[in-house]
């Protein structure tokens, strides 16, 4: 299993599909998926790929 590109931690359990990707399927860990959802709910911009520790 590849690590989560957003936090570089191993993905445990079911991966989440990143909301950043309209044209690509990029899978991140559950906690990163939750974090993206929380940021969206709070009106914060998502963390761009360029700031991720691993290039998806
Ligand atoms: Zn993650």
In this predicted structure, the answer to whether residue 22 has a pLDDT above a threshold of 80 is no
Q: Any bridge partners for residue 10, and if so which?
A: 3
Average model confidence (pLDDT) across the chain = 92
pLDDT for 15 equals 94
Q: Any bridge partners for residue 16, and if so which?
A: 28
The answer to whether the CB of 31 falls within 8 A of the CB of 7 is yes
The structural domain count of the chain equals 1
Distance 42 CA to ligand 1 centre (A): 19
In this predicted structure, the answer to whether residue 20 has a pLDDT above a threshold of 90 is no
Per-residue pLDDT tens for 30-47?
999 999 999 999 999 999
pLDDT for 47 equals 94
**Residues 13, 19, 22, 23, CA torsion sign:** negative
Distance 31 CA to ligand 1 centre (A): 6
Q: Domain residues for 30?
A: 1-56
């Amino acid at each position: 299993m590849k690590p989560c590109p957003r936090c570089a931690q191993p993905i445990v359990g079911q991966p989440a599909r990143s909301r950043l990707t309209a044209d690509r399927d990029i899978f991140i860990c559950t906690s990163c998926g939750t974090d993206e959802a929380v940021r969206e709910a709070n009106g914060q911009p998502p963390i761009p790929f360029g700031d991720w520790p691993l290039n998806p």
